[in-house]
A and B are shown apart, each in its own frame.
Chain A
Amino acid sequence: MRQYYLMILVAAFIATSAHAGTITVYAAGPRNLDHALTVAFEKATGNHVKLWASSTGKVLARLQAEHSKPHADVVILADWSAGLVLQSQGIVAPYRPQRFFSKLRPLLKLPSSFLPMGADTIAIVVNTQRLSKGQSIKDWSNLTNVAYRGQITMPSPLLSGTASDFVLGFLQQPNEGGWHFFAKLKANGTIWPGPNAAALAPVKFGSRSVLMAGVGHTSLKAKKRGNSLNLILPQSGTLLIPRPIIILKSSKHLVTAERFVDFVLSRAGQQLVSKALLIPALSDVRPNPIWPSLQHAHFWKVDWVRMAKDRAATLSRFNATVIH
């Protein structure tokens, strides 16, 4: 009986999508990029894309809610460890062709069954109007200085996937000060006003001068619009967050889905990634010139698998001991 239903549905579906393939993409932004990628892909291949653009958390929530009847073919996330979670659930169709993998930026060559489509960094963002002359921030440790008392905001790791990655990655670094650093931050009057955009708001409105652990492209976009913001990549290192592009095992349009991934990792696709102020995954496509030089930036080595494992315990400790 159920098969019968299915056949009718499939027949109806084929009838309605007479032209090429149609795939459904769930993407975690930036929305302009998601939109530009699907439009360019449709133009280049004649396929059709149904796009749902949201945040990593919402995409994962939706995948889980749709667990018994999946709809998405391709998923783009803002968070590498979220991709690893999907992989460990066994719902990822492995797709990592060598022809792309070999051309990735060295830091993005990570063990996984899927590819990164780009990357973003965690940085310190300052409102240059609010900093007094001669004040300059070089590293995380500067932020516990009394000069920045009551001046710092940070996205809440409980509400922002990237900020939680930052905390987990930070704690994996032997020389950064660990939990002690966060305790000192708290003592210095730091607030955690919500996800990324909410944490940037007090800095944009001039109420505070420093956003720490902000995600790169959002602040750069604000800077590009003329805001007096500056992005600082700390000397001792920071986290580079690859953004996974994943084909789901449940997809009934694997071929079209693979073509979509191929397109995102093509030169044309990567240039769109660069234009959206993300760091392109391919090493021969340059990031937008508004980025500070990545050549000399230092990025941490992190164990993403362990990060995924430690997440729940670390976040509940952060909530209990730092935020409260």
Chain B
Amino acid sequence: MQLTLGAVTVRGALWVVLGILVLAPLTAILIGAIRPDLLGGVTASNLPSATLWSATRNSLLLGVGVAVIACTAALILALSMEVLAPPLSALWEALLFLPFLSAPYLLGLAWGALALPNSIFSRHFGPFSNLLSRFVFSLIGIAFITATHLVPLVYTMIRGYLAGTGWRYEFAARVHGLTRSATFLRITLPRLAVPLAAGALICFLAGIDEFGVPAMLGPYMGLTVLTTLIQSNLDVWPINLAAATRIAVVLLGMGLLAWGFYRHYDRVAGLDYSRPRSTNAGLSWTGVLASAGIAVWVLFTSVLPIAVLVILALLRADTLGIHWNNLTLQHFATVLMPGRSGFQALTTSFNLAWSSSLVALLIATLVAFAERSGKRIDHALDLVTTMLNALPGVVLAVALVLVWNAPWNPLPLYSHTALLFVAYVSVLLPLALRYAKTATTRVEPNLLTAARVHGVSQTTTIIHITLPLMLPPLIGGFSIAFVFAMREFVTSVLLQPPGTNTVSTFIFNEAQQGNSGSAMAMAVVSLSLSLATVGILYSLLWWKRRRHNTAGLRKTPSELLPANA
């Protein structure tokens, strides 16, 4: 295809945008690690290597633990849904996505409150209270809690893969006389290695990058991981920006390594979006059993922690315990009062979330279309964007300060809400790209050629062919990006401009000032807002599919996550 002037302009613009969003912060952090004197201020004492080593080891263990737990749980859940076809499957699938909506640090906080022995919560657990406490305040517990919010992601990858490849190999095996269990062991499981490997690497990346959960639970057992080590070097003085930058580079190295492997599977696992007709076999006792199992999982990973957050938001005085006359709606009133800082934080986050999600998706779609040309330079665009996956949030925040506050930078973005917008777009880009790629694969070049052959104008083609095809995954991508932005924690806390609060900075500050009631009320309100947004968008998708599709294809919430994540 001949590159037109327009195409060249779009590519030039993309490189400029990615240069600002990705390359500049990456360069800044690498320069900072090599020449810390350029960072200014005190370049304090060296970091004890024993501390760095133990934090690195803990981060690795956490990453591996998260990957193993999330993949195991997701595999069991996906196979139960796929093979046992439990009743009410749409409901279960929707519920499985609940942990994805809440910020991991809130999950950590809730589990911490639940697991304290003899507390107002665990008093009701009897002999289990000790067991729970020992589990939650351990490396495995931290890995488990981090894993719960990643399970939906791996679950979607597995089901997307199965849906994309279908069951024809299994059919062939059965036709040739293999037993049901042998087919499962020798065909299905090996086949699932592909989405599982991709899921494991994504979870490993998320595990070493996780800050909230180890920050909430780690101190109880003196556990430090790389992210919390970076934060304590940035947050508790003597501030050691140089050490923080160096640890960040260690983390970046680990991330890049895992991401290098992941990219391989990303291509293998990349599959189409449509799903097969569901085989609703009616009621069977295995199906009911599977439902019960899934219900227990949902109860422990979503209902319990969210209930704790709600209770904490309702308590008047924590020491007095859970009693009707110790409940109040006052914290919610504080948060929702128009004009007050809580309400402003909610508005700011809401506006930031939708605008940055839209822009990230727009950039990602352009990158995805450019990548289709197959040119090496356009692949580089894709490479640069997904590289953000390997860049932990803390590192990105430090890098953004270095770039946007540099004396040579003429744009006065720093200390404006606009910087948060830039940070959010950077954070959301890799996620948006996954959806955009799914979306562009749906637009087959043949369709466009057919339109052109029939003399349809470019605008009409876009409106009647390209957009309708791309819209469902893009809406899915938008809702997930929106949720991510609503709960974004690390960069918001570090880049928060004077006079601006976001949901997460509000929660963080309130909790730090000992106002856990209003902090938790905000958590519950923003969680409900995210839930409502995803719910509305999902019903929109469902309704649209219902209206357009006479084939009775079923739409499940997992389509809100990318099939080839």
Contact = CB atoms under 8 A, between A and B. Distances in A.
Interface band, chain A: 35 or more
Contact of A56 (B237, B496, B497): B237
A267 B42 CA distance: 37
A86 B514 CA distance: 27
B235 A61 contact: yes
B347 interface: no
B235 A57 contact: yes
A65 B117 CA distance: 41
Contacts of B220: 191, 193-194
Given A64-B41, A201-B113, A225-B316, A71 B235 contact: no
Contacts of B42: 64, 89
Interface string A50-68: 1111111110110111111
A129 B323 CA distance: 15
Contacts of A53: 509
B117 A51 contact: no
A156 B398 CA distance: 24
A197 B41 contact: no
B166 interface: no
Contacts of A9: 412
B493 A207 contact: no
B232 A196 contact: no
A26 interface: yes
Contacts, number: 171
B344 to A, nearest CB: 11
Interface string B465-506: 000000000000000000000000000011011110000000
Contact of B493 (A56, A58, A193): A58
Contacts of B119: 202, 205-207
A221 B514 contact: yes
Contacts of A61: 234-235, 237, 239, 241, 494
Contacts of A129: 319
A54 B320 contact: no
A184 to B, nearest CB: 18
Interface stretch (A27-35, A139-147, A235-243): A27-35
A226 B40 contact: no
B297 interface: no
A18 to B, nearest CB: 18
B444 interface: no
B341 A204 contact: no
Contacts of A311: 238
Contact of B219 (A50, A69, A71, A194): A194
Nearest to A33: B513
B236 interface: yes
Given A192-B222, A204-B319, A221-B513, 17 more contacts: A26-B498, A29-B509, A57-B236, A65-B401, A67-B39, A67-B40, A85-B238, A194-B219, A202-B119, A205-B113, A205-B120, A208-B116, A226-B316, A226-B320, A228-B319, A229-B319, A312-B44
Interface of B: 39-42, 44-45, 48, 112-113, 116-123, 215-216, 219-220, 222, 232, 234-239, 241, 316-321, 341, 398, 401-402, 405-407, 410, 412, 414-415, 493-494, 496-499, 509-517
9 contacts: A26-B498, A31-B513, A35-B341, A57-B239, A158-B236, A197-B516, A206-B123, A226-B317, A324-B222
Q: Which 5 residue pairs spanning A and B have beta carbons closest together?
A: A67-B40, A207-B116, A52-B498, A226-B317, A64-B41
